[in-house]
Structure 1
């Protein structure tokens, strides 16, 4: 595909295919980042619960809970 879609034999098709490729790449990246953030939230909340069950110091459990809350809040804001 030429760099300038308007130089192609069918400029409209070349332009549409170029946009489709761009959206496909960005869609895949966004999906991976979303899944990663979900896993990160699950891991931090599980770690906070485990720390509480293992009777870790209060500041450790509270810190882990705060981190999990921040991750969940950021996800909610940017969804």
Structure 2
């Protein structure tokens, strides 16, 4: 990775950590990620392992493509479980 691209990557990682603390920043993180990956759309979905409620953030995604992936309570997205303490 060239130095300029590495600098962009480091900045993006910093934005991810900031958004983990301030969820209102996820939209900007997704914009930055989409630019970094030279992509048209980016989506990030979180799911509560206990309640199975999911919440998604997306950018540059056509509304019709985003409809089936809105916030829902559904089956687990993966079978991952955090190990106890």
* TM superposition score normalised by structure 2: 0.34
Alignment TM-score, normalising by the size of structure 1 = 0.35
Give the number of the structure whose residues are more often helix, by fraction.
1
> Greater Rg, structure 1 or structure 2?
1
